[in-house]
Amino acid sequence: MHIFADQTQKLVKMDRLLKIETFSAIPKEYIDTPIGNLLEYHNLNKTFSNYANAKLLIGMCIDNRKHLNIPDNFAFIIRAGGANLRYSEFKISFAISVGGVKHIALIGHNHCGMVNLISKKDQFIEGLVNNAGWSKEQAEKHFTEYAPMFEIGNEIDFILSETVRLRKVYPKIQIAPMMYLVEDNRLYLIRE
């Protein structure tokens, strides 16, 4: 029964994702934009162009399993657990105002550690006690205080909600919600 539920959940997730395997699969609104270029570089192995300045801001998770195939100087990248940029507005504003970017790719990924944080509470506390020298009480207080701020729930739903939130804050900036699947190392657009 559990295996069937996992397979059903995978199918539902895949139904929400737009696979980009050809140039024609890129939606029109992203053609000839840094977002379209990101998809071409990463998924389609487009030959790298040279960039003097960043054209894109990428918000993505701190997870070490994700690596983007992009040219040097192409993008500013903010890494935060779960691609949660709630506490990075000043950095985003800097990239837009001083860096001149007009496009943001918000990239979540499957199997994210920021999902169901409560299930990791004991490991989190034990890790801080053993690795950082914290007392159990300090570690537990830290988890209890911060876990609700960083829990993202479902990866796809979170990226969509964060996209909507950022569009309200930066209405002239084109923002694309994406998922990175760790199984195939590909970027997918999230259907809105």
Residues 110 and 121 in one domain: no
Residues 131 and 95 in one domain: no
Considering only 4-8, 28-32, 51-55, 170-174, which range has the smallest mean pLDDT?
4-8
Q: What are phi and psi of 40, to 5 degrees?
A: -65, -45
Q: Is the pLDDT of residue 8 over 90?
A: no
Residues 84 and 54 in one domain: yes
Q: What confidence score (pLDDT) does residue 2 get?
A: 47
Residues 67 and 41 in one domain: yes
CA distances from 61 to 44, 84, 95, 121, 153 (A): 22, 8, 18, 20, 14
Rounded mean pLDDT of the chain?
Answer: 92
Residues 126 and 180 in one domain: no
Q: Is the pLDDT of residue 110 over 90?
A: yes
Residues 72 and 122 in one domain: no
Residues 124 and 71 in one domain: no
Residues 160 and 145 in one domain: no
**By the 8 A CB rule, do 107 and 180 touch?**
yes
In total, how many domains does the chain have?
2
Q: How confident is the model at residue 1 (pLDDT cuts 50, 70, 90)?
A: very low
Residues 63 and 120 in one domain: no
Q: Any idea what the CATH number is for the domain that residue 28 is in?
A: 3.40.1050.10
Residues spanned by the domain of 104: 2-114+155-190
Burial class for 190, CB neighbours closer than 10 Å (0-12, 13-18, 19+): buried
What's the Rg (C-alpha) of the chain? 18
Residues 90 and 55 in one domain: yes
Percent of the chain with pLDDT over 90: 86
Residues 108 and 125 in one domain: no
Residues 134 and 62 in one domain: no
pLDDT tens digit sequence for 137-177: 999 999 999 999 999 999 999 999 999 999 999 999 999 99
Among 122, 102, 116, 5, residue whose Cα is nearest residue 54: 102
